[in-house]
Structure 1
Amino acid sequence: MLAAAAERDGVEVEEVRREVALPSGLLEKRGVRIPIATVRRVWNGFTDRAAGPLLALRAARQLPMGSLDLLDYLAQTSTTGEEAFEHLTRYLPLLADAGRVWIEGDRQRLRVRHASPGGLPSLSELLFGLIVARSRELFGPATAPQLVQFAHRPSAPVSVYEEVLGAPVRFGGGFDDLVFDRDVVRAPIASRDPALRGILIAQADAALARLDLRGVIERVEPEDDFVASFRHALSQALDAGDPSLARIGESFGMSARTLQRRLSAASVSHRELLQELRLERARRALGGAQAKEVSEELGYSSPSAFHRAFKRWTGVTPGAVAAAPGAVAAAPAGVGWGGLQGGDGEQAAARRP
């Protein structure tokens, strides 16, 4: 699906396939599961060669009904849009299992929410772009969501996103959020077909039963790819203020113990990766900024409070890191960037890690 979208945009797909060493003929094999880290490399190759920004959103408008296989046909035969969204939440793993989709709502609104901390922002944009495009096909060309919100940062001006999606767009938060007027999605779909929908549901259930997701992920994803996915999830969890294994496990669909086992197999630990990430952010923040700017950004009451806390944590001063990025070797065990507290009682605010 991604390759077809990129090809429509003028990208030389075969060139990207060779560059990332994707086996020849793999894209033509129906149902093959490809690790998200591989998808990330391929997609980055596509976007680097694309004719313009927001390839994923532009692709969503170009992919015809049927591109999502069973998901598209289930949507077409559903009684209402609300039912179509319920099918999406149940059967999305047939298309991709790097994230989780769920529905929340009240009398006025229905929200389609998506979380994929170990995934790829462009895939989140493609998913929501496809839902918006399909909604126009099912409910009428004038249909638009009340709000589109992405957890990641924008890669183009917000106005460009809003022009493509035809709705207000925001960024930031713990998950992606697509908000519809509930009356719109409760309206009957013209192409509804209960008999055919029943046949499709039986096929989808059988396919889902054959798909041992956890087994597939652990067989095909090399540990290096898993660690890369975990780092990405850890970064987003840190942004959200809770980088715990339990929080990250929710996005992976794994328990904290399973995550620990996978990390141990790759000879790393959650603590080590968290310390590396915090050091990386510290160095980046200190790259060219003044101490006052950094202390404010990280939530300290004053530059001197930040200076003392940083030295207790790393053993060197912020100035030493700014002058020589290799000055910090490792943070003392058990000390976190977002919770440093000195003897004078000064503490980093909890609003930002």
Structure 2
Amino acid sequence: MSSTPSVTVHYAQAILQAAERLALPLPAELRALGGEARIPLARQDALWEAFCSASSDPLIGLRLGCALQVGHLDMVGALLMSCETVGEALEALLEYYPIVGEGGEFSLQRVPGQVRLVYQPHYQVRREERVEAVLASLLHMTRWIAGNKLGSLQLSFSHAARGELASYAGLLDCPLQFEAADNALLFAEADLRVPLIQANALMREHLRGLADSLLERLGTQSLAVRVQQLLRQHPRWGKERVAEQLALSGRHLNRKLAEEGTTFKLLREQVLYQMAEQLLRESPRLSEVAERLGFSDESAFAKAFRRWSSMTPGQFRQGQSE
């Protein structure tokens, strides 16, 4: 198994199947998945770029998400189906989502009367299309495994609408919010108690054992993902502090990351760039963004942001408001 961040081959197959249905031409080297169980995230990036470039439909990612089936989520899909309630399935998703893919993270936020399943992507290639695919698939699968007995689910996207609102409504049939603070699927708190139609305690425990073993193997190999997770929690940390948390020396961390084809500096800059974009959308003062990300002052942050994005923080915010 590759030591780099990856996704299950079944998710990649879903993209290839959609391309075939739509007669979209994809490079032969991207169609040949071979017998591998997982696809490196970099190759998944190339597959998404080719898939979206070959289509003239701005909602191609959303349509793919609506067409995804439980089998495309590897054993995690079957595990979620076997849970007793929607709430239990959400907790299982939080624990086992890296098996499906290591390109993003899920978290649960609880407010009075409502629960938000928040998705934070870590990739940059075709980000909006991929976020729409993830949330659309979760919306449809959640409805299906609950026997369409849920209340009014809602979706929020941090980006602007990519097409006509009527097209979104026809595909998703739920309240929508764009240019929101985060990407999320929103549940009424009461929906967490809704029983699932294929709950199976024996199957669930069997699948949990298999998933635990796979997650353990995956976790010990995806060092880059673990580094990024620590940096998102502690963006001020340097290499030595992160290495200490991973029970490694700084030199050993460098060597292990090099084996995965990356560096600590590159991972840290990717994380800071993603966090900077999110913070700038939330509109705190520039000095606060710089301070939270560990920069000495606004000028140092602005210089770094321009290097990452080829625009100033002000230009980025202006583009978000248009």
* 1:62 aligned to which of 53, 61, 67: 67
* 2:305 aligned to which of 274, 279, 287: 274
**Is the Cα contact below 8 Å between 2:151 and 2:191 reproduced in 1?**
no
Following superposition of structure 1 onto structure 2, how do residues 90-239 of structure 1 map, counting pairs within 5 Å?
A: 90-106=95-111, 108-116=113-121, 118-119=123-124, 120-141=127-148, 143=150, 145-211=152-218, 212=220, 214-217=222-225, 218=257, 219-222=259-262, 231-239=273-281
1:6: Cα distance to partner?
4.7
**Is the Cα contact below 8 Å between 1:144 and 1:166 reproduced in 2?**
no
**Is the Cα contact below 8 Å between 1:101 and 1:113 reproduced in 2?**
yes
**Is the Cα contact below 8 Å between 1:145 and 1:167 reproduced in 2?**
yes
1:240 equivalent in structure 2: 282
Root-mean-square deviation (Å): 3.6
Within 2, Cα distance between the matches of 1:152 and 1:182? 26
Indicate the structure (1 or 2) with the bigger Cα radius of gyration. Answer: 1
Q: Deviations over 1:73-110 (max 9, x none)?
A: 11110000110011111111112223221112356322
* 1:80 aligned to which of 55, 78, 85: 85
TM-score normalised per structure 2: 0.68
Q: Deviations over 1:271-330 (max 9, x none)?
A: 642244687248969xxxxxxxx9xx69xxxxxxxxxxxxxxxxxxxxxxxxxxxxxxxx
**Is the Cα contact below 8 Å between 2:59 and 2:162 reproduced in 1?**
yes
Give the direction of change, closer, same or farther, for the CA distance of 1:108–1:232 in structure 2 (3 Å limit): closer
* 1:50 aligned to which of 52, 55, 64: 55
Q: Deviations over 1:99-133 (max 9, x none)?
A: 22111235632221112254522222112111111
- Please tell me the residue identity of whatever aligns with 1:88: L
**Is the Cα contact below 8 Å between 1:118 and 1:229 reproduced in 2?**
no
1:315 equivalent in structure 2: none
Within 2, Cα distance between the matches of 1:2 and 1:145? 31
Secondary structure of 1:280 counterpart: coil
1:143: Cα distance to partner?
4.2
Secondary structure of 1:68 counterpart: helix
Within 1, Cα distance between the matches of 2:221 and 2:177? 32
Residue ranges of structure 2 left out of the alignment (5+ in a row): 1-10, 226-256
Give the direction of change, closer, same or farther, for the CA distance of 1:184–1:235 in structure 2 (3 Å limit): closer
1:180: Cα distance to partner?
1.4
1:156: Cα distance to partner?
1.3
Within 2, Cα distance between the matches of 1:144 and 1:213? 40
Secondary structure of 2:71 counterpart: coil
Within 2, Cα distance between the matches of 1:208 and 1:155? 35
Within 2, Cα distance between the matches of 1:281 and 1:204? 44
Within 2, Cα distance between the matches of 1:279 and 1:57? 28
- Please tell me the residue identity of whatever aligns with 1:50: S
Secondary structure of 2:73 counterpart: coil
- Please tell me the residue identity of whatever aligns with 1:240: E
Identity of aligned residues (%): 17
TM-score normalised per structure 1: 0.63
Within 2, Cα distance between the matches of 1:275 and 1:49? 30
Q: Deviations over 1:118-171 (max 9, x none)?
A: 452222211211111112211224646432101122221233222211111112
Within 1, Cα distance between the matches of 2:276 and 2:221? 21
- Please tell me the residue identity of whatever aligns with 2:62: L
